[in-house]
A and B are shown apart, each in its own frame.
Chain A
Amino acid sequence: MSTVYRLRTNTGAVFALSIIVLLIAVALAGPWFNPNNIESLDWAHVAAYPSLTGAHWFGTDRLGRDLYARTLEGMRVSLAVACVASAISLSVGIAYGAVAGYAGGRWDHLMMRFIEVLSGLPLIFFVIFLTVIFGRSQYLLFLAIGAIGWLTMARIVRGQTLSIRQREFIEAAVASGASTGRIILKHVVPNLLGPVIVYATLTIPQIILFESFLSFLGLGIQEPHASLGTLIAEGAGEMEAAPWMLLVPGGVLATLLVCLNIVGDGLRDAIVGRESAAT
């Protein structure tokens, strides 16, 4: 209750959240209001300026493709990557971290060392490696980012579990004869949701950024599909002749990231505030 209230009183977070909602709505519903699709080439308007009265609101790229349609596509792809990858990192991270933290002792030690080994892997090499073995595919990208993202999540969840395990209601649950699996699922995990949600909202921008980075390097989304990263990469090449090709996707990415970070911070303040008020 009070978490939502605290978040609502944070004007900046509410403002940022409404911008995110607006951007998502536009990304999802936008194509229906735009006659141009992402692939059709308009030879009459190659590298056209953005104009709200013309056929291409955000202008076109040097092949005459509509930049508005492509930016929306890019947003959809970036958000999808963010959602899928954070879902993977959430589910794997929570399960792994909660089990390690609750089991404790030798198991905890072993499971955490495994995480340290994994986080020692250089990320870019890992992704290049995967693309070499499995070929380029969107799903691989989702998987690769998710596979890296859960490491930190597992660490955070494990730390929280260690402290929750000491609380008396866990002891009471053990004394009432609940099985270990049930205790982890029903008594431990719901109590870690606070910090987990905060961390998840703060990872989403990181994932979007990382996806854009990989796509910028040509390891991610492939033509004719677009992500914000590939659009920015294209735009960077035409920076002097057609600056809007960089500014439009760049601006959208920056707005999205800033807003997500503000919401994440607001959420953290709201939840941490709740916990400090409770003790």
Chain B
Amino acid sequence: MTPALDIENLSVHFAHQHGAIAAVREASLTVRPAECVGIVGESGSGKTQTFMAVMGLLSAGARAAGSVRFEGREILGLRASELNRVRGSKLTMIFQDPMTSLTPHLKIGIQLAEVLVSHSRMSWREAETAALRALERVRVPEARRRLRQYPHELSGGMRQRVMIAMSLLCEPKLLIADEPTTALDVTVQAEIMDILRVMRQESRMAIVLISHDLGLVAGLADRIVVMYGGRVVESAGAADILERAVHPYTAELLKCVPDLRRPRLERMPSLAGQAPSASSAEVGCAFAPRCPLAGERCLSERPLLRHIGGAAHQAACHYPL
């Protein structure tokens, strides 16, 4: 079966006056049809830039190399007009901040209908009916009235639902959700995650869920990919990551997830040290300076991604747990 998304050796560099900055370094990952993959990592680990490259949204100074195949077709480096055949219809993305992701001067109904009119040559009237149905699917109350409202009249959670409705309009094969709940409060977050879960079951689409919150990702993802310093450091089934993480970085991350069942701690555990700078040249393992288990070899030789444990479990570490 052709994977929904196949990223191979993707690198993203930003031109800078002191040489190039590497945001993503030779990252490879695969998303199968109808699968939910969680992408986890700290700020600056390259998780967002990886998928910006997939969507053709890299800023002007960025260069991407490698290969990105969507349903078997190479899409990296396509011209905007060619990319637009899938972008927004079969391959969609929702963003971190719903407050600013909707154009302020256009009514919700028009913004939703516009997507359908430009992608499936629907008439405006049909598109509006479809927009109404899409809003009802994501449980927007009083959907008919919302179509006539402007973005500023809706709350943050409501706007994120509108964004989700917009991304689902053309029955996408893959939805990329870039920290979809970071800007929302916790109760709304739970509702948005539930909507994503239901939508996924209904329409059999693949989801990439990007987040720094392992707990959130674990609730939805089948598989989790952990990124660090622009590289994939561990990739396995969600349960394997949570219970049998082999990369010390994943293990440290897991310690940072608060758990009500554990005895209350004096202070929240946090990962010591700094995330690696994207401009520094790489020698050895990027995590070595912060790693409790680092040995001589970690400082001189970069660990490659290899199978550890099961066939579906990969990690890049010399001394896996």
Listed in ascending order, the chain A residues whose CB lies under 8 Å from chain B are 104-105, 167-169, 171-180, 182, 186-187, 190-191
Contacts and interface: CB of A to CB of B under 8 A. Distances in A.
B118 A178 contact: yes
Contact of B101 (A168, A178, A179, A190): A168
15 contacts: A167-B100, A168-B95, A168-B100, A168-B101, A169-B103, A169-B104, A171-B101, A172-B95, A174-B87, A176-B87, A177-B84, A177-B118, A182-B118, A187-B106, A191-B104
Contacts of B89: 177
B106 to A, nearest CB: 7
A169 B115 contact: no
A171 B115 contact: no
Nearest to B115: A176
Nearest to B178: A175
B88 A179 contact: no
Nearest to B80: A180
By secondary structure, the A interface counts as helix
Given A104-B60, A177-B115, A177-B118, A172 B163 contact: yes
Interface string B75-113: 000001101111111001101010011111110000000
A186 B107 CA distance: 12
A191 B81 contact: no
Q: Which one of B85, B101, B106, B163 has the highest number of Cβ atoms from chain A below 10 Å of its Cβ?
A: B101
Contacts of B103: 169, 173, 186-187, 191
B87 A175 contact: yes
Nearest to B84: A177
B317 interface: no
B166 interface: yes
A175 B93 contact: yes
B60 A178 contact: no
B81 A179 contact: yes
B178 to A, nearest CB: 10
Contact of B106 (A104, A179, A180, A186): A186
Interface in B129-177: 163, 166-167
Contact of A175 (B55, B97, B100, B105): B55
Interface of B: 55-57, 60, 80-81, 83-89, 92-93, 95, 97, 100-106, 114-115, 118-119, 163, 166-167
Q: Which one of A168, A177, A179, A190 has the highest number of Cβ atoms from chain B below 10 Å of its Cβ?
A: A177
A174 B115 CA distance: 11
A172 B102 contact: yes
Contact of A169 (B85, B93, B102): B102
Contact of B105 (A104, A176, A178, A191): A191
B104 to A, nearest CB: 7
A177 B88 contact: yes
A169 B92 CA distance: 14
A179 B81 CA distance: 7
A172 B101 CA distance: 6
Closest 3 CB pairs of A and B: A177-B88, A176-B88, A168-B100
Given A176-B115, A177-B119, A178-B88, A168 B105 contact: no
A179 B104 contact: no
B98 to A, nearest CB: 9
A174 B57 contact: yes
A175 B92 contact: yes
Contacts of A105: 60
Contact of B57 (A171, A180, A182, A191): A171
A177 B85 CA distance: 7
Contacts of B85: 177
A176 B106 CA distance: 15
Contacts of A187: 103, 106
Nearest to A167: B100
A167 B83 CA distance: 21
A171 B83 CA distance: 14
B57 A178 contact: no
B197 to A, nearest CB: 22
A233 B106 CA distance: 50
Contacts of A173: 103
A178 B118 CA distance: 7
A178 B166 CA distance: 13
A195 to B, nearest CB: 14
A102 to B, nearest CB: 11
Nearest to A176: B88
A153 B159 CA distance: 34
Given A172-B163, A179-B81, 11 more contacts: A169-B101, A171-B95, A172-B102, A174-B80, A175-B92, A176-B88, A177-B86, A178-B84, A178-B88, A178-B118, A191-B104
Contacts of A168: 95, 97, 100-101
A120 to B, nearest CB: 29
B164 to A, nearest CB: 12
A176 B81 contact: no
